[in-house]
């Protein structure tokens, strides 16, 4: 999320390396229009205070913990069976030992494969969820930029940003957070209304 940089209606690039500045033509425009072409948001605050992100993180953590608990349970059962075989294997026939060892080896392989598949699935789901967050933020910033005449919205993250300094008047983080959270509250209210209506029909 720290890499979030959304260019909205970009028709010129900021001519800066260490600080965010505008060209002479942009400055003239600002003086005339009384606004600014380039603003920035604090991505750290955006992640910690955006309710959609917090809810998504909670859902993902719950799913991860459930998957880990399932794997741990199966691994414990497998370890118990291995220990039973180690204790009782001496009383088995050669055929019984060979069959048991083959089954245990297959279970071990299945557990390893399940662990890998689960990890890949969770990673894909996390990436998809982050994409949804990017898309939501980008859509809102595009709408806001059209309303306010912003040409570019930069992201700032302490210690990991090309913006070494930005005037506080260019920081629209709180405004963006308020707008995003209001939209999300409206979505949740609409979803709740729909669920209530569906329940009543039953």
**Are the C-beta atoms of residues 37 and 26 closer than 8 Å to each other?**
yes
pLDDT for residue 19 is more than 90: no
What is the per-residue pLDDT across 112-161, written as a single tens digit (0 to 9) for each?
Answer: 999 999 999 999 999 999 999 999 999 999 999 999 999 999 988 877 77
Q: Is 152 helix (H, G, I), strand (E, B) or coil?
A: strand
At 17, the pLDDT band (50, 70, 90 cuts) reads: very low
What is the per-residue pLDDT across 78-117, written as a single tens digit (0 to 9) for each?
Answer: 999 999 999 988 889 999 999 999 999 999 999 999 999 9
The C-alpha atoms of residue 50 and residue 177 are separated, in whole angstroms, by 6
Please tell me the pTM assigned to this model. 0.69
The C-alpha atoms of residue 136 and residue 148 are separated, in whole angstroms, by 18
State the pLDDT at residue 202: 64
The C-alpha atoms of residue 181 and residue 20 are separated, in whole angstroms, by 27
**Ordered structural domains, the chain, with CATH:** 24-201 (3.30.910.20)
């Amino acid at each position: 999320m720290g890499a979030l940089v959304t260019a909205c209606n970009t028709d010129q690039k900021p001519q800066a390396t260490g600080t965010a500045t505008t060209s002479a033509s942009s400055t003239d425009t600002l003086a005339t229009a009384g606004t600014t072409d380039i603003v920035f948001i604090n991505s750290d605050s955006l992640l910690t205070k955006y309710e959609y992100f917090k809810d998504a993180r909670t859902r993902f953590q719950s799913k991860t913990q459930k998957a880990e608990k399932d794997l741990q349970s199966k691994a414990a059962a497998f370890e118990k069976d291995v220990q039973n075989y180690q204790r009782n294997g001496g009383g088995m026939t050669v055929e019984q030992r060979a069959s048991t060892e083959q089954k245990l080896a297959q279970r071990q392989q299945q557990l390893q494969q399940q662990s890998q598949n689960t990890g890949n699935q969770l990673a894909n789901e996390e990436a998809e969820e982050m994409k949804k967050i990017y898309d939501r933020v980008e859509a809102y910033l595009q709408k806001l930029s059209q309303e306010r005449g912003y040409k570019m919205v930069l992201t700032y993250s302490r210690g990991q940003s090309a913006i070494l300094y930005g005037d506080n008047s260019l920081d629209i983080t709180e405004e963006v957070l308020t707008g995003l959270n209001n939209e999300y509250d409206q979505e949740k209210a609409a979803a709740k209304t729909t669920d209530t209506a569906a329940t009543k029909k039953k």
